[in-house]
């Protein structure tokens, strides 16, 4: 029978969806969370500039080991693009549709931490919500690693009038939405109440690692395999009880107990179909999330 985990047990295996305030760095948010909870390890899954607000996913303690499947999720933003000279709305929409939706080539900005080399990124949509003179309110959904500030300036350059990003708010990261995020003040208050014995507010804020990765394909293993797998032993067909369909070779997969606890992340050696008939290793263990001493 599955035992319900306490809030204290959940903390090291959880993420928090934070509404990052303006004026501080993503790193400062992580430092604040570490301080609130008294943790040794925390990490965020995608930097927001100090003047950008919105969804920032922070992983707590052991959950930082799952960063490879939390980083790289698609992003959605709302913001204001400021045109240096006014442009007809129809022309603006046509320019964006023809040149900045789909696969685009971007050179990261000067202040970025990556090499300033052209790279392909996908802009799934770029919608103008409202235009007031030179101020253009927009919503865009993009592949991870797309620089919105650079996207705005490139649009201005294409229009031959110049433009820059005036405001930006991240409203979604993967399945994490702004409406479900929490302010630093709310999180701090919830943790203070937790220390006083009221676990409910914090329990509503913590998102278990299992809930945080619905996009990761799963392999469920038998109880007798938990200890060796949590010590790094490779996964063979005989360990698996259930293999989710759609797994591709070299894909990162989640190894789960029958109680739906994430044990480890591994690299698939073959696809789902061949896993069911393959002899030997089907998944190489890459990162251990939970230890078992059964």
Domains of the chain, by residue range, sit at 7-71+176-211, 75-173, 216-288
Instruction: Enumerate the active-site residues.
Output: 49
Fold of the 75-173 domain: Alpha-Beta Plaits (3.30.70)
- Check for a shared fold between 7-71+176-211 and 75-173: no
Report residues of the chain scoring pLDDT below 70.
1-5, 110-115, 293-294
Fold of the 216-288 domain: 2.30.130
Tokens 């069911």 correspond to 276
Q: What is the pLDDT of residue 46?
A: 86
Q: Which residues sit opposite 137 in a β-bridge?
A: 80, 130
Q: What is the pLDDT of residue 1?
A: 44
CA distance 42 to 62: 9
Do residues 81 and 138 touch, judged by C-beta distance below 8 A?
yes
Do residues 52 and 73 touch, judged by C-beta distance below 8 A?
no
Fold of the 7-71+176-211 domain: Pseudouridine synthase (3.30.2350)
Tokens 């701090």 correspond to 188
**CA 105 centroid distance within chain:** 23
Q: What is the pLDDT of residue 164?
A: 95
Q: What is the pTM of this model?
A: 0.90
The sign of the dihedral angle between the CA atoms of 134, 140, 144, 146 is: negative
């Amino acid at each position: 029978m599955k035992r319900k985990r306490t809030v204290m047990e959940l903390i090291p295996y959880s993420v928090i969806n934070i509404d990052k305030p303006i004026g501080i760095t993503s790193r400062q948010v992580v430092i604040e969370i570490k301080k609130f909870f008294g943790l040794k390890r925390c990490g965020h899954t995608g930097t927001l500039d100090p003047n950008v607000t919105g969804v920032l996913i922070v992983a707590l303690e052991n959950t930082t080991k799952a960063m490879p499947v939390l980083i790289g999720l698609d992003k959605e933003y709302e913001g204001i693009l400021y045109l240096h000279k006014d442009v007809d709305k129809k022309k603006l929409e046509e320019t964006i549709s023809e040149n900045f939706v789909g696969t685009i080539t971007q050179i990261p900005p000067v202040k970025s931490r990556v090499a300033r080399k052209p790279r392909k990124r996908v802009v799934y949509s770029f919608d103008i919500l409202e235009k007031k003179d030179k101020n253009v309110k927009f919503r865009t959904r993009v592949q991870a690693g797309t620089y919105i500030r650079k996207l705005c300036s490139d649009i201005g350059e294409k229009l031959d009038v110049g433009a820059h990003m005036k405001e930006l708010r991240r409203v979604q990261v993967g399945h994490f939405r702004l409406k479900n995020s929490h302010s630093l003040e709310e999180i701090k208050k919830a943790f203070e109440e937790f220390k006083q014995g009221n676990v409910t507010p914090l329990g509503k804020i913590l998102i278990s690692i299992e809930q945080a990765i619905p996009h990761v394909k799963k392999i469920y293993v038998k109880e007798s395999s938990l200890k060796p797998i949590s010590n790094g032993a490779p996964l063979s067909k005989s360990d698996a009880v259930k293999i989710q369909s759609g797994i591709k070779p070299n894909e990162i997969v989640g190894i789960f107990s029958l109680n739906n606890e994430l044990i480890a992340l591994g690299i698939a050696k073959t696809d789902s179909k061949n896993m069911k008939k393959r002899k030997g290793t089907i998944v190489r263990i890459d990162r251990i999330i939970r230890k078992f001493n059964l």
